Amino acid sequence: MENFDYKINDTQKLGLEIIKEASFDDRLMTLSVGPQHPGSGHFRFVIKIDGDYIVFCDPDPGYVHRGEEKMAEYRTYIQNIPHLERPVIHDSTNITYSYSLAVEELLGIAVPRRGQFIRAIASEFNRQIYTLYWLAIYGIFLGHSTMFMWPAGDRELFIDLMEALTGARVTHAFNIPGGVRNDIPNGFKERCLRQVSYFEKRLNEYEDIFYNNPLFRQRTEKVGILTKEDAIKLGVTGSVLRASGIPYDIRKVEPYDVYDEIDFKVQYLKTCDSFARSYVPFLDMKESCYIIKQLLDKMPESGDVRTKLQSNVKGQSGESYKRVESGRGALGYYVVSDGSPKPYRVKISVGSFRNILALPHLLVGSKLGDMPAIYWSLNYWPVEADR
Amino acid sequence: MVTVPKKFGFGSFVSSILWLVFWIVVIVTLVGLPLIFIILFYVPLPYIGDEVLTPYLFFSMMVDPTRTIPIIKFLIHTDIFRVMVFPGFGYAAIIAAVTIFVERKFLAKMQLRVGPYYVGRWEGILQLMADGLKLISKEIIVPSGADKLLFWLAPVLFVATAAAVTALIPVAPGGWVVADIDVGLIAVFAILGFFPLIALLFSWASNSKYPFIGGLRALHQMVAFEIPFILSALSVVLVAGTLNLTEIVESQYLYWFIIIAPISAFVFYISSLAELERIPFDLPEAESEIVAGWITETSGMLYGLIQLGTYLKLYALAALFVILFLGGWTGPQIFPEEIIPGYTGEKIYNHIVINGIFWFTLKTFGMIILFLLPRGISPRIRIDILLHTGWYKLIVLCFINIFAVLTLIYGGIIPTGGILQ
């Protein structure tokens, strides 16, 4: 493989030189990738290519901006739940988790211990659901149709569990300020353990068939290298940051609810390339299975799951900021209250938007064929970034 | 529980059938027969075998079906039958249609899903017809600024070129090939060289950026893989001592050439995948990078024609692999010499030909499955790795096998100048 070891720095220099020489030349071809391009999602980036090299990249998000933050100012704290999970419906428990934490701090509510455990379980399930969906689309981006179908099929395991837990397949609206909506159903623990152990076997198959595939490695290894320093400068989070060799996980750094009682390792790799960025979420899924088993063990057998609130609960005037580790990294909510039943300001800080800042940095100097491998490895969800 | 439709009476059922028969008899006697005789009066009747084809002969055929055999024999030895039906386009198109269905079901089973299911009674067997009807009924959109002549011509040329390759494939012993020419193998490679040209012309004609990149990629791919493709066939030619595809098959009566040229067979397989633009070598159509590559601007039946051409090409290359390395139609005789024991009349059943067709089709389908397999297990390759593979690795592998074959020939293990001498 040493023949393919071109140096990323050299290509970047090449790219910059070309841009200086040929900025007014016909050599460059401008391609608008998205929003109707099969390799973009609800997102557009304009690239300029010189032959096979990308010399310019301009990300252009905003196609699915829905004004979630402004909408949140016109609804009460409880009414906000169903629409705040819309930006990322595959990870809807995590995106309402930090909102609930922030509102609880603002209103001064404590969550019952059993409720905290159920929240954590639902959050881990949703992380699996999101990561499997992301992995499936990574397969499609690399032209591997089996890699699309298998994770999309195994995602049903966790969707079924979430349906048993919350009553909805995708948009759960499960976390609310004060706890969770309902208790776990009968026989949930056994079913959960059975499906999670089956899923762990499937993960081993994923590793054999997808990650150890030589063509997959050729496409992703030593591609789009984001060094440790650049990762910190650009402010990426989540799996992208951990793939650049920084063991940073909100569950470890600022443990919320019950995560300080749980034993788990922060998965990170030091190779900084697209392969690491695609492999860290996979390691996270493995670790997440381990966390789910622990949570089920340590959960109290009985108790309340929710502190009942009034429908138009009012808090002290003040502000709070809480964040959780979502499928795409740190997901924070900044909530300001003026003492009325409705929040004065809700600001969502999402991991996707931080990660996409690295895209121009990585794409310039790389080849057109590397574009999907780099772009989707950034763990970017266009709808979440637009909010 | 048995559900009986309401108002069903057996008597009315029988009477409706009888009325139908009555009206058919009346109409045929009063209208059909006079019409036939009027036409026959003006049209000179052809000779089939020794007899003049008359309506009386036709009626006698209804009594004794064996009398149709001379007519059938006459028809299946015409050139139009060969081109249109059996070793030519019809056979290839049927195999292509079956391949599309098999591919979809096979890939679905690999990916833990069901595949086509609803169209047709059994397992969505008529899905292809539904898709074809949909494509035919769709509007064909020609982009503004496109070169209209080339834009319409290229898909037709694509199918025609693919059909031209299938015309060179010998299917069964006894001359069952459309064009049996002495330089068959070179002709196959010459025709295959047209495909990237058509892709480039079409991509240029559609006046769009993504097709343009796709067309250039198709050209690069062809240049990188055509040389190992031809070199891999060279070791077979060295052993067989001929370029005629029928004679190459006949020279494999002792053993298949995959035994002495396994590396060439492997290179041929990889290069065929690249030639067919199938995953992992579907760079000209890489949808996550360049939308659909050179076929981005196709719509409706133009797209359908290109797909038909692609699958005809798949059949042609699988058949070529079978002919070069797997002994073509050779195989154990499993069909009996006679179907009806003691029948002494004229017959069209030839057990050798039927046996050849059976083995050839079986092997070709095995190869087609092998060509379909990488789509389920592999991602797409990158263009620089592709060029590197073509130029550095495959050509070297080909030469290794060629030298091995030359050693065998000059060591006296294989007769010089081919086995047939």
- Is pLDDT at B19 greater than 90 in this prediction? yes
ipTM, two decimals: 0.80
Q: What Å distances lie between residue A236 and A263, A277, A380, CA to CA?
A: 25, 12, 11
Nearest-CA distance B215 → chain A (Å)? 13
| Start-to-end C-alpha separation, chain B | 72
Q: Which residues in chain B have their CB less than 8 angstroms from residue A31's CB? A: 209-210
* Interface contact B107, partner A, CB < 8 A: yes
Token pair for B372: 């379909």
From the list A4, A213, A368, the residue facing B378 with the nearest CB is A213
* Token duo for residue B28: 């045929």
Q: What is the pLDDT of residues A272-302, one digit of tens each?
A: 889 999 999 999 999 999 999 999 888 888 8
- Taking CB atoms and an 8 Å cutoff, what residues of chain B touch A3? 388, 392
Q: What angle do CA A153, A155, A159 make, to 5 degrees?
A: 120
Half-sphere exposure of B150 (CA within 13 A, CB side): 16
Angle subtended at Cα B380 by Cα B285 and Cα B293, rounded to the nearest 5 degrees: 10
Which among B322, B187, B170 is positioned nearest to B247, based on CA atoms? B170
Residue A265's Cβ-count burial label (10 Å; 0-12, 13-18, 19+) is exposed
List beta partners, residue A30. A48
pLDDT band for A87, please (50, 70, 90 cuts).
Answer: confident
Any idea which of B140-154, B198-212, B341-355 has the lowest mean pLDDT?
A: B341-355
**Cβ(B380)–Cβ(A143) under 8 Å?**
yes
Asked whether residue B62 carries a pLDDT value surpassing 80, the answer given is no
- What is the Cα–Cα distance from A343 to A345, expressed in whole angstroms? 6
What's the confidence (pLDDT) of residue A2? Answer: 42
Please check the confidence at residue B301 and state whether its pLDDT lies above 70.
yes
Instruction: Please identify which residue in the block is written with the tokens 């089709």.
Output: B361
Dig out the tokens for B138 from the structure: 């769709």
- Looking at residue B320, its pLDDT comes to 92
Among A142, A150, A368, select the one facing B380 at the smallest CB separation.
A142
Domain parsing of chain B, residue ranges? 47-73, 85-336+347-410
Give the residue-averaged pLDDT of A47-51.
84
Taking CB atoms and an 8 Å cutoff, what residues of chain B touch A145?
107, 111, 279, 375-376
* pLDDT above 90: percentage of residues in chain A: 16
Cα A5 to Cα A273: distance, rounded to the nearest angstrom:
13
Q: Which pLDDT does position A132 carry in this prediction?
A: 92
Residues of B in contact with A142 (CB under 8 A): 288, 379-380
Could you tell me the pLDDT band of residue A51, with boundaries at 50, 70 and 90?
Answer: confident
Q: How many whole angstroms separate alpha carbon B274 and alpha carbon B383?
A: 12
Alpha-helical segments (H) within B298-382: 301-325, 351-372, 374-377
Q: What's the half-sphere exposure (Cβ side, CA atoms, 13 Å) at A292? A: 28
- The four Cα atoms A324, A326, A328, A329 give a dihedral, to 10 degrees, of 20
d(CA A92, CA A169): 11
Q: Please state which of the four CATH numbers 2.60.40.10, 1.10.260.40, 1.10.645.10, 1.10.340.30 is assigned to the domain occupying A68-355.
A: 1.10.645.10
Span A304-342, pLDDT tens digits: 888 888 778 887 888 999 989 888 888 999 999 888 888
Identify whether the C-beta of residue A260 lies closer than 8 Å to the C-beta of residue A275. no
Whole-number average pLDDT of chain A: 85
Give the H or E element holding residue A12: helix A8-21
- Mutation pick from B210, B382, B389, B396 vs chain A, by most beta carbons of A within 10 Å, is B382
Half-sphere exposure of A325 (CA within 13 A, CB side): 27
For the CA atoms of A236, A239, A244, A249, the dihedral, rounded to the nearest 10 degrees, stands at 80
**A–B interface: beta-carbon pairs under 8 A:** 88
pTM (global) more than 0.90: no
